[in-house]
Structure 1
Amino acid sequence: MSPPTGNPITDQFDNDLNDPSYDTRRQIGLRLTIIARMMRNNFDRKVANLCVTRSQWAMIAVVSRHPGSTQRTIAEALEMSEASAGRLIDRLCADGLLERRDRPDDRRARAVYLTDAAEPLLARLATIARESEEKLMKGFSDEELAQLRGFIDRIYDNVSRG
C-alpha cells in the first residue's frame, strides 16, 4: 500500500486497492490510475526547471523521431486533434524549438522540424525519461518486461476499440 499523500481522493484510491470487496479487475484499474498519476507527477517535478510540459515534450519527441512530418501526422501520433497539435506547434515555434518549412511535394502542407535550440532540451528530457523508466522497471527481468508489455498491449487494444 502507498503511504498517504494527504489528498483524500487519491488516498481513498489507495485504500480501495486493499478492500477485499473490490474485485481484481477493479483493483487493477485503480492501480493503473494511481501509477499513471504518480508517473505524471514525478515527470512534472523533474522537468519543472526546464519550463516544458509533458505535451510539449511529447511533441518534441515525435518530431525528433519523424522530422518533416505534417501537423496532421503529428496529431495522429499523439492522439490529439489537429487543431490542438497546431496550437502546440505554434507555441514551440514561438519558443524557437520547432520550425515549419514548406514541403516541395505539397504546397498546402508544411513540414515540422526541430531547431538546433531543441537538441539540448531533447537530450536532457531523454535522460530524465530513461532514468524514470529504469526506476519504474527496476527488478523486472527481460522476460517479465516482455510479458508485461504483452498484457499492457492487450489492455490498450481493448480500450482503443471503445
Structure 2
Amino acid sequence: MKPVPAPAPALDINQLPGYAIRRLHQISVGIFLQEVGDLGVTPVQYAALQRVGNQPGIDQRTLARGIALDTSTTAGVVDRLETRGWMERRTAPEDRRARQLFLTPDGQRALAATVPAMLRSQEQILAPLTPAQRKEFMRLLGMLVEENNTLSRAPGHRDAS
C-alpha cells in the first residue's frame, strides 16, 4: 500500500505571477476583441498584419520569430489572412523555395482600420495606472519578457517593427 502524500499547501493563486499574467492576457484579449468588433481581427492576426505591413517581403520564418509564434501556428495565421484576401505569399526572386509575405490593398485597409481600435484597447488596459505607473509597468514587463524569452516554446525576436 502506497503512503498517502501530504496535502498540498494552501496557496492564494491571486498572489502568483503566472496566474495574474494569464488573467491579464484574458482581459487584454477581451478588450481587444471588444474594441475591434466587426473588423474580425484577432490579436495574433493584428500582430502579423502589422509586422508584414512594417516589413513588406518578410519571410514566414522571420515573421514567426517577430511575433513569437511557432512556424506551424504562423502558417495557419498567414493561411487565414490569405483566405481573407489580406495577405499574399510571393516567391522570393533570389530563392524560388522561399516565400515572401505582402499585404494586399485590402490587407492594408484592414490594418489601417484596426490600428485605432487596437490603440484604444491598449489605452484601456493601462487606464487604471497613472502615466508614471504605466511607464514603469511597461519597463518591468519588457524586462520580464526579455530575460525569460529563451524559456518560451516560441522565443520572440524584438526589433524596431
Q: Which TM-score bucket, shorter chain as reference?
A: 0.7 to 0.9
Change (3 A) 1:46 1:147: closer
Matched, 1:92 2:105: no
Aligned-residue offset at 1:29: 4.1
For residue 160 of structure 1, report the CA deviation from its aligned partner: 2.1
- Listed as ranges, the gaps of 5+ residues in structure 2 are 1-11, 152-161
Q: Determine which of 59, 62, 70 is the counterpart of 1:73.
A: 62
Q: Point out where structure 1 has 5 or more consecutive residues left out of the alignment.
A: 1-14
TM superposition shift of 1:128:
0.6
Query: Does residue 1:101 correspond to 2:107, yes or no?
Result: no
Cα distance between partner residues in 1 of 2:55 and 2:38: 27
In structure 2, C-alpha distance between the alignment counterparts of 1:65 and 1:116, rounded to whole Å? 14
Describe the SS at the equivalent of 1:60.
helix
Alpha-carbon offset, residue 32 of structure 1: 2.8
Matches of 1:31 and 1:83, distance apart in 2: 28
Q: 1:123 matched to which residue of 2?
A: 112
Equivalents in 1 of 2:52, 2:121: separation in Å? 21
Could you say which residue in structure 1 is the equivalent of 2:19? 30
Aligned residues: 139
Q: TM-score, normalised by structure 1?
A: 0.73
Conservation of the 8 A alpha-carbon contact between 2:35 and 2:121? no
CA distances 1:7-62 after superposition (whole Å, capped 9, x unpaired): xxxxxxxx854xxxx5xxx2x44333322211111112233412222222221111
Contact between 2:88 and 2:101, CA under 8 Å: does it hold in 1? Answer: yes
- Secondary structure of the residue aligned to 1:117 is helix
For 2:134 and 2:76, the matched residues in 1 are separated by 36
In 2, the alpha carbon distance for the partners of 1:102 and 1:33 equals 39
The aligned amino acid for 1:106 is D
Higher relative contact order (CA 8 A, sep 6+): 2
Query: Identity percentage over the alignment?
Result: 24
After TM superposition, what 4+ stretches of structure 1 lie above 6 angstroms from structure 2? none
Task: Please provide the CA RMSD for this pair.
Answer: 2.2
